[in-house]
Amino acid sequence: MEWDWAFVVQILPTLIEGVKITIIATLLGSVLAAIVGLVIAIVRRSKNRLISMPMGFVAEFIRGTPLLVQLYFIFYVLPDLGITLSPLVAGVIGLGLHYGTYTAEVYRAGIDNVARGQWEAAKACNLSPLQTWTQIIMPQALPPMIPALANYFIAMFKETPLLSAITVLELMNQARSIANYNYRYIEPITMVGAFFLVISIVSVIGLRWLERRYGKID
């Protein structure tokens, strides 16, 4: 079977439709993951073990199970409990929750990296816990986290094809429907691969820049 450029040109508009959904899902998923991760990280730091322990277990559980199954769970089980979500919303929630457990670890490392003296100084200055977090800790903890967070957002971007399994019409799903309709697999699937490869190479260059700009934490 041969590579057919005319066919590539013909399917390109449909693939671009898919790219849009892929990008939307990644962006929304990233925002949700950033928020969920912060919540998990702060709750896990709680001194009350009745709060921190269950949260730790839930985070470990989500991180230890496949995203695909979690997506099925959100998409198929929640409607039975009376919560019906559109495929895209279900996908974004799945991505955000799953990667939130990863970003939580980034936040944890970043917060631990802030020197103890800063906490003590905040206490000495009689700042409230909220002021301590927003004025002292987070401004110092955030910049070194940026490259690590970006790394997970790129990883999330590469996982968006999973959303096709819950009928989101993103890039992979468009490619599969083209492939099944025309019975030509080589061009659509290869195009999807090439697209992800290009974006990922570009983002690696961007990541290097972020690391130089903000430093990095391990």
Partner 1 sequence: MGQWAGYLQLILDGAVVTIQLTLMGSALALVMAFIAGLGRLSRIAPLRWLATAYIEFFRGTSIFVQLFWAYFVLPLFGFSLTPLQAGVLALGLNVGAYGAEVVRGAIRSIGKEQYEACIALNLTRWQGLRKIILPQAFVLMLPTFGNNAIELLKASAVVSLISLTDMTFQAQVVRAQTGNTLVPFLTILLLYFVIASVISFAIRGLERYLTRGLDGIRS
Give contact residues for partner 1 (rule: CB under 8 A). Answer: 1, 61, 64-70, 72-73, 76-77, 80, 158-162, 165, 172, 176, 179, 185-186, 189-190, 192-193, 196-197, 200-201, 204
* Separation in Å, CA 90 to CA 109, 119, 207: 29, 39, 29
Q: Which helix (H) or strand (E) holds 20?
A: helix 5-44
Residue 109 to residue 129: CA distance in whole angstroms: 19
Q: Which is nearer to partner 1, 71 or 141 (CB)?
A: 71
CB 166 → partner 1: shortest distance, Å? 11
CB 194 → partner 1: shortest distance, Å? 8
Q: Which is nearer to partner 1, 12 or 77 (CB)?
A: 77
CB 92 → partner 1: shortest distance, Å? 17
Residue 215 to residue 212: CA distance in whole angstroms: 6
Q: Which is nearer to partner 1, 62 or 92 (CB)?
A: 62
Nearest to 166 by CA among 94, 98, 81: 94
Q: Which is nearer to partner 1, 36 or 159 (CB)?
A: 159
Q: Which is nearer to partner 1, 39 or 202 (CB)?
A: 202
Alpha-carbon dihedral angle through residues 159, 154, 148, 102, given to the nearest 10 degrees: -20
CB 158 → partner 1: shortest distance, Å? 4
CB 157 → partner 1: shortest distance, Å? 9
Return the structure tokens found at 113: 């990296």
Nearest to 58 by CA among 92, 106, 97, 107: 97
Return the structure tokens found at 53: 């322990």
